[in-house]
Structure 1
Amino acid sequence: MNVQVDMLDHWPAQHDGVITRAQAAICGLSADAVDRLVRRGTWQAIHRGVYFVADRPFTADARIRCAVWGAGTNAVLSGEAAAFWHQVISEAPSIILVTTPRTGRSRAQGCRIRRRDIHSTDIVERRGIRVTSLELTVLEASIGNAHIMDRALQRHTDLEGLWRSHVRNPGRAGASEAKRLLKVAADGARSEGERLLTREFRSRGIRGWVANFRWGGYQLDIAFVAEMVTIEIDGWAYHSDHDAFQRDRSRQNDITPNWTVLRYTWFDLTERMDRVIAEITSTVDRIRCSQPR
């Protein structure tokens, strides 16, 4: 068996159909032979020195691999694309973020280049490409997408690991927001969610509500007392356990005969606030209009 030919047969299958000119040389293919494959249409030149074997679908994995390998040997997959690569999220983003060192040369091909030095502990290799560690990936991908941190804390990592990565990589873009998210995650985000919603009520001039209203032995997160509408805020899912779930549902069952209950997650409040406010105000207005004058 020709070992080099065998390597050439298996390399594309093991790397999403992607191969570089340097990798082809290791497999025994000359530069002229690569050029002939491209001219025949057997390989497609995706970026400079990066090729795709044309007999297979061009998947999201292939697109990401082409972008990282096309950006140079020191390129590191980052952000949401790294979260996809670590299988924290299921859909690849439209923009692939790649980080390269502050010094040195790199090519921006099929991706958005960010020049920043990453702590060596937070650069790992997964399936043949360099990628930010799971912890740094979660910190960076969660900016504007806090559900990524919640999902990662449920299944992939823990707060201690995220804090360590945060400290190892100071001064990066989004670091202050990541620190805030870590603090929010530590307390389950329930209290932070209440603060977000009451702040929104005040800014929009919405009146008639009371925070932490006591009723029948229960403390309601936010209540429109006259209309008997209560807003309940759920914390992050990774804090949830069976007992807490049962307590929340038992409380809701006990107050539902008297109160209209609207439940929201912290992510509703951070990502869909306008929709939340519209639902709350329409519910309160409907009940207010139906009450006898």
Structure 2
Amino acid sequence: MLDAYLKRHDGVITLAQARAAGLSHSAVRRRLQSGHWVRRFQGVYFADDRPYTDAARIRAAVWSYGPYGAASGLSAAWWHGLTQFAPDTVEVTIPRGSNGRRRPGCKPRRRDIPSADIVEIRGMRVTNLPLTVVEAAARYGGGAKLMDAALQRRVVELRALWRIHLQHKGRYGSPRARRLLQASDDGAQSVAERLLHALLREARIDGWKANYRVGGYRVDVGFPVQKVAIEVDGFAFHSGADEFQIDRTRQNDIVMLRWKVLRFTWLDLTEHPERVVALIRAAITA
């Protein structure tokens, strides 16, 4: 029974679990002294007859914070299968008032999460999918690609992300999560166009016209003298196959008229405005 338990849980076991399986303190101590088990955290052990995988590392970290700890952020995203690479630092959300201190390789966040927003996957507590997406996307290493991928794969709906975001306002990363959700919304493109205009004015770049006609199309911003067109895109999940093909045909037609085309997303404008300005300057002065 113990071997089956260890196999199901990546070789990780807590002292409480070992006692529940019938092991005494002395039996646990003998396993540690013989090297069959290794102490990863206080009260958390790893059966050292197998590789210490990312799953084992994350599980050990989460379990080290007790029965009410839950993987969150990028740790939860990896556990849900939303990201390919496990984070180096394991984020664990624990209830307010918990006395869990920061441990090597761990980042505890104290917050009371309703039980409805916690799920158990492979025997470990994890924030549910909508909360995981909005929190992990706001972390460094997550970002727009994570949220966009979740929406494209239809593992979660945008309205569910907005609902969970509003339910958990004030958490760490909330402002950036809001910007990402706004970028995913249907009105993002018109907002992005106004942001682009503001960036151009702030950078004192002139010679451009908004909604400029090039051939049979209108581009978001056009530089008639330099023949540079700037287009603002929304997130990929808004476009189906037909829209994608129409958009590429449109861009090819504009390029055949000897115009350069630069494409930016809402997030380019909000997260990397200096890069956007630098690219536009390079294009209009080339």
1:198 paired residue number: 197
In 2, the alpha carbon distance for the partners of 1:264 and 1:179 equals: 19
2:107 paired residue number: 112
Offset of 1:119 from its aligned partner?
2.1
2:134 paired residue number: 139
Matched, 1:12 2:28: no
Q: CA RMSD in A?
A: 2.0
Offset of 1:274 from its aligned partner?
4.0
Structure 2: gaps spanning 5 or more residues:
none
Contact 1:135 1:157 in 2 (8 A): yes
Offset of 1:125 from its aligned partner?
0.8
**Equivalent position SS for 2:22:** coil
Offset of 1:29 from its aligned partner?
1.9
In 2, the alpha carbon distance for the partners of 1:195 and 1:147 equals: 23
In 2, the alpha carbon distance for the partners of 1:225 and 1:268 equals: 23
1:263 paired residue number: 263
In 1, the alpha carbon distance for the partners of 2:50 and 2:273 equals: 43
Offset of 1:270 from its aligned partner?
4.5
In 1, the alpha carbon distance for the partners of 2:6 and 2:210 equals: 59
When normalised by structure 1's length, the TM-score is 0.88
1:239 paired residue number: 238
**Equivalent position SS for 1:99:** strand
The aligned amino acid for 1:42 is: H
Contact 2:98 2:110 in 1 (8 A): no
Offset of 1:178 from its aligned partner?
2.7
Offset of 1:26 from its aligned partner?
2.2
Contact 2:180 2:267 in 1 (8 A): no
Residue of structure 1 aligned with 2:71, choices 71, 77, 80: 77
In 1, the alpha carbon distance for the partners of 2:241 and 2:187 equals: 15
- Relative to structure 1, the CA distance from residue 41 to residue 274 in structure 2 (aligned partners, 3 Å threshold; closer, same or farther) is farther
Structure 1: gaps spanning 5 or more residues:
1-6, 287-293
Matched, 1:148 2:142: no
Residue of structure 1 aligned with 2:53, choices 38, 55, 59: 59
1:184-223 equivalence runs, <5 A: 184-187=183-186, 189-223=188-222
1:124 paired residue number: 119
**Equivalent position SS for 1:179:** helix
When normalised by structure 2's length, the TM-score is 0.89
In 2, the alpha carbon distance for the partners of 1:180 and 1:279 equals: 23
Contact 1:221 1:231 in 2 (8 A): yes
- Relative to structure 1, the CA distance from residue 56 to residue 191 in structure 2 (aligned partners, 3 Å threshold; closer, same or farther) is farther
Matched, 1:38 2:36: no
Most deviating of 168-177 and 140-149: 168-177
Offset of 1:267 from its aligned partner?
4.3
Offset of 1:146 from its aligned partner?
2.4
Contact 1:72 1:107 in 2 (8 A): no
Matched, 1:22 2:16: yes
In 2, the alpha carbon distance for the partners of 1:195 and 1:90 equals: 35
In 1, the alpha carbon distance for the partners of 2:270 and 2:182 equals: 15
How many pairs does the alignment contain? Answer: 280
Offset of 1:254 from its aligned partner?
1.2
Give % identity.
51
- Relative to structure 1, the CA distance from residue 271 to residue 54 in structure 2 (aligned partners, 3 Å threshold; closer, same or farther) is farther
Offset of 1:107 from its aligned partner?
4.2
1:164 paired residue number: 163
